[in-house]
Structure 1
Amino acid sequence: MKNFALIGAAGYVAPRHMQAIKATGNQLVAALDPNDSVGIIDSHFPDADFFTEFERFDRHLDKLRRANHDKQIDYVSICSPNYLHDSHMRFALRSGADAICEKPLVLNPWNIDGLLEIEKDTGRRINTILQLRVHPAIMALREKVQAERRDTKHEVDLTYITSRGHWYLQSWKGDVKKSGGIATNIGVHFFDMLHFIFGELQNNIVHVSSDTKAAGYLEYEHARVRWFLSVDFADVPEVQRNAGQRTYRSITVDGEEIEFSGGFTDLHTRSYEEIIAGRGFGLEENRTAINTVAAIRGATPAAPTGDYHPFLRK
């Protein structure tokens, strides 16, 4: 049994990590969040110690480590706001634990270089949750693409709209310095998926970039991709909107819809199984996706001509 600590226990994704820790037969020893709305812990680990101040959390983990206690921490799971991931991973490694970090790993590619140095200094490892890489449908598509012999690239359309209310822009997620912006916050795992399936990134053009939506064109070794991301309910197609849907997700490859809506419920558990077995995705596996979103964040949008997403015609 491995012992876990969790940073960001009140966050949206934290329950998936708690479930994954429990489902893999491990123990949550301590959790941290400045917000004390963390009753969900009782459903998984009611005996876990909880802290609202980082300094007390730090002291507690240090005492466990120095006392060679049977509850000393093996892994620190990080579900904090995006801009704090880098600092919290450094803390985990310096505390003698491996890190398991939610996406995005970091906001900028140079942060990866610094973390590589700390891995070397401490002998500990950083793992990340790239859950789409362990999705059966995505893995099957990757195998199919790799096995093909073709002279032309695949034509891909990626559309992801996940409506958010007025709270979104008032939270840290609406602050580009803290979240990295819309492409980073809701798109980074899709960009990693595209790289995972279609190879190295060759071209990156941005057509739209705002607080609530972004769109552009990406070209990989084996694919040409038109992409559109949004948290604006008005972007949900009319048919789905009239049916009461607030989310719309579509990925087509050469005009064929890739169905991967199912199988999402246990992807964190599957990721944890791989990490504990020593097969987690590390720092370098994140580099292309982080380079992609950092370039999107810094780009000046070009006029949507040529290969642009069909939603931009509206």
Structure 2
Amino acid sequence: MTISKNFALLGAAGYVAPKHMIAIKDTGQNLVAALDPSDSVGILDSFSYDVAFFTEFERFDRHAEKLRRLGEQKMLHYISICSPNYLHDAHIRFALRIGANAICEKPLVLNPWNLDALAEMEMETGNRIFNILQLRVHPSIVKLKNTMKDQPIGKTKKHNIDLTYITSRGNWYFHSWKGDANKSGGIVTNIGIHFFDMLMWIFGCVNLQEVHYNDERKTAGFLELENARIRWFLSVDRNDLPENIKSEGKTTYRSITIDGEEIEFSGGFTDLHTMVYQDILDGRGFGIEDARPSINLVYELRNSIPSLSGGERVHPLVHKKDNRSTFLRAV
């Protein structure tokens, strides 16, 4: 008989937190404690009326330590981390110090060198750090990876890929931690790391990277991977949405074309976190070394100087007529 594990959730009022709550419940585990500076967490009642809730980290820390001293049945076995990006490193360290494993949203950390220190803590404590890389378990993405892997030896070619992701955000976004690049890592980290991780997982490591445009609302560039050339465009500006998407009242547009063929993966997102949690509980999961390539890449991208000298490597939306003057001012 499998014994349920005790979980605590950091960042319980955040956008992604309910996915973690569902994953904890659907895998048969116990959510016993939660922390958030905001007390707008009534959603917790949908999962349990007995979750110990804290708005101050110090009191949560004391509670976690008390549970640890009560022994195996009461202690926290996992800390799920949905806090702002710049706090991930500290919250992962906290989890390991109290004898728990950490399950953290992307990005695991903002700076690549922090991964080495976390790896040392894993060795010292014997506990694990897991990253939520949910696109790696998406059925359509897994199928695509298998298709590319099954290409005949000697027939591997460089695929031409266009990645476009536009997700509308209002003024609140730029006044929150997400709009502060020092706290979120900027758009390339906050919304791009999911896709960069997935593309490197399928098409190999980075040989060349360029940034053609970057500001608080949008960023674009080019990647050459072992087996792919990728023009990418990321935006939180609803004005970048295709007209047909806006006319349908939609606020998000995602598209990946490979050699001119659209890859359909708009559905199938509902239970990906649960699948990742189950993998972790089954002794697998994605660890520090899985997360490292994408963290290295987005760090380099956000510290690159934009240049529009990429020619055909520049994403078509960068040259969109009504945006052209805006883009050129940033170069």
Q: TM tier, shorter chain?
A: over 0.9
Q: CA deviation at 1:269?
A: 0.3
Q: CA deviation at 1:152?
A: 2.7
Task: Check if 1:230 corresponds to 2:235.
Answer: yes
Q: CA deviation at 1:69?
A: 5.7
Q: CA deviation at 1:116?
A: 0.4
Partner residue, 2:290: 285
Match of 1:38 among 41, 49, 60: 41
Partner residue, 1:140: 143
Task: Check if 1:245 corresponds to 2:264.
Answer: no
The superposition leaves residues 148-204 of structure 1 with CA deviations (integer Å, 9 ceiling, x where unpaired) of: 132530111100000000100000000000000001000101000001110111111
Contact 1:182 1:213 in 2 (8 A): yes
Partner residue, 2:84: 81
Contact 2:256 2:263 in 1 (8 A): yes
Task: Check if 1:65 corresponds to 2:65.
Answer: no
Gaps of at least 5 residues in structure 1 are: none
Q: Map of 1:1-314 to 2, 5 A cutoff?
A: 1-68=4-71, 70-149=73-152, 150-303=155-308, 304-314=310-320
Q: CA deviation at 1:246?
A: 1.2
Return 55-64 or 149-158, whichever deviates more: 149-158
Q: CA deviation at 1:34?
A: 0.7
> Any idea what SS the aligned residue of 1:41 has?
helix
Q: CA deviation at 1:248?
A: 0.5
Q: CA deviation at 1:306?
A: 2.8
CA distance in 1: counterparts of 2:200 and 2:224, whole angstroms:
10
Equivalent position amino acid for 2:272 in 1: L
Percent of matched pairs sharing the same residue: 63
Structure 1 stretches of 4+ moved >2 Å = 149-152
Contact 1:94 1:122 in 2 (8 A): yes
Q: CA deviation at 1:266?
A: 0.2
Distance 1:69 1:117, change over 3 A: closer
Gaps of at least 5 residues in structure 2 are: 321-331
Contact 2:79 2:100 in 1 (8 A): yes
Contact 1:127 1:280 in 2 (8 A): yes
CA distance in 2: counterparts of 1:103 and 1:286, whole angstroms:
8
The superposition leaves residues 233-276 of structure 1 with CA deviations (integer Å, 9 ceiling, x where unpaired) of: 00001121122111110001111111111110000000000011
Q: CA deviation at 1:218?
A: 0.4
CA distance in 2: counterparts of 1:74 and 1:200, whole angstroms:
34
Q: CA deviation at 1:305?
A: 2.1
Contact 1:29 1:71 in 2 (8 A): no
Distance 1:3 1:151, change over 3 A: closer
CA distance in 2: counterparts of 1:54 and 1:240, whole angstroms:
42
> Any idea what SS the aligned residue of 1:306 has?
helix
CA distance in 2: counterparts of 1:66 and 1:171, whole angstroms:
37
CA distance in 2: counterparts of 1:160 and 1:37, whole angstroms:
30
> Any idea what SS the aligned residue of 2:313 has?
coil
TM-score by length of structure 1 reads: 0.98
TM-score by length of structure 2 reads: 0.93
> Any idea what SS the aligned residue of 1:161 has?
strand
Equivalent position amino acid for 2:146 in 1: E
CA distance in 2: counterparts of 1:255 and 1:67, whole angstroms:
59
Contact 1:179 1:185 in 2 (8 A): yes
CA distance in 2: counterparts of 1:69 and 1:285, whole angstroms:
29
CA distance in 2: counterparts of 1:141 and 1:117, whole angstroms:
35
Q: CA deviation at 1:307?
A: 0.8
CA distance in 2: counterparts of 1:139 and 1:199, whole angstroms:
15
Q: CA deviation at 1:109?
A: 0.6
CA distance in 2: counterparts of 1:176 and 1:21, whole angstroms:
31
Question: Aligned-residue CA RMSD in angstroms?
Answer: 0.9
The superposition leaves residues 121-148 of structure 1 with CA deviations (integer Å, 9 ceiling, x where unpaired) of: 1110000100000011101101111111
Q: CA deviation at 1:71?
A: 2.0
Q: CA deviation at 1:70?
A: 2.1
